[in-house]
Amino acid sequence: MKRALKDQRKPSKLSGAHLQSIAIVVCAEPAADFEVAKKLRKDLYERGLRKVDLFVAYSSRKAAKASEEKDIIPFAPDSFNWIGRIASSDLTAALKQEYQVLMDLTEGRSFPADVLITKLHVQWKVGRHLAQREYLLDLMIDTKDQDLNKLIQHMDHYLNTLNKPTAA
């Protein structure tokens, strides 16, 4: 996490009209949030995005292996060693990908998810506003204790409506 605090991320222009790759990070629990994230991934594919990867934080490796979900990238606390290096070969391969946007739906509930967010190669990171996570994300949306669907709606509105290439 210290690396994330010191990271001097370069500003980048990003337009919702040109998005092609998104990483979504979500916790497996609560199950309702996980279902919302799967629906979001399906909607993004239907819009024509080429790559939408769903990274799912489980409470243990056993829970991750017990999950029969396909097309997700599972990880657990033991996917990283005690200093934050990746200890999972599946996760190592997934982290070689580059994304334009990361949508953080974990809301700070998972420390391994925060470690993953710092390690992903992403131009732009967006999530819910939490004061203790300001160093982690590029855009934080304050939704005043609204549900996850409302947060996703705000993210989508910013990425696809306000952030047009013709905007001043």
Q: What's the average model confidence in pLDDT over 145-152? A: 85
Which CATH code for domain 19-162?
3.40.50.2000
Going by C-alpha positions, the residue among 155, 114, 120 that lies closest to residue 134 is 114
Cα separation, 118 vs 7, in Å, equals 9
Question: Confidence class of residue 158 from pLDDT cuts 50, 70 and 90?
Answer: confident
Confidence (pTM): 0.84
Tokens of 153: 């709606």
Tokens of 102: 């990361």
pLDDT tens by residue, 41-69: 999 999 888 899 999 999 888 888 877 77
Tokens of 79: 């996917």
Cα separation, 56 vs 37, in Å, equals 9
Q: Residue 152: exposed, middle, or buried by beta-carbon count in 10 A (0-12, 13-18, 19+)?
A: buried
User: Of the ranges 29-38, 43-52, 67-76, which one carries the lowest mean pLDDT score?
Assistant: 67-76
β-pairing, 73-75 vs 121-128, is unpaired
DSSP 16: G
Annotated domain spans of the chain: 19-162
Tokens of 74: 């599972």
Going by C-alpha positions, the residue among 99, 20, 1, 18 that lies closest to residue 55 is 99
Question: Confidence class of residue 3 from pLDDT cuts 50, 70 and 90?
Answer: low
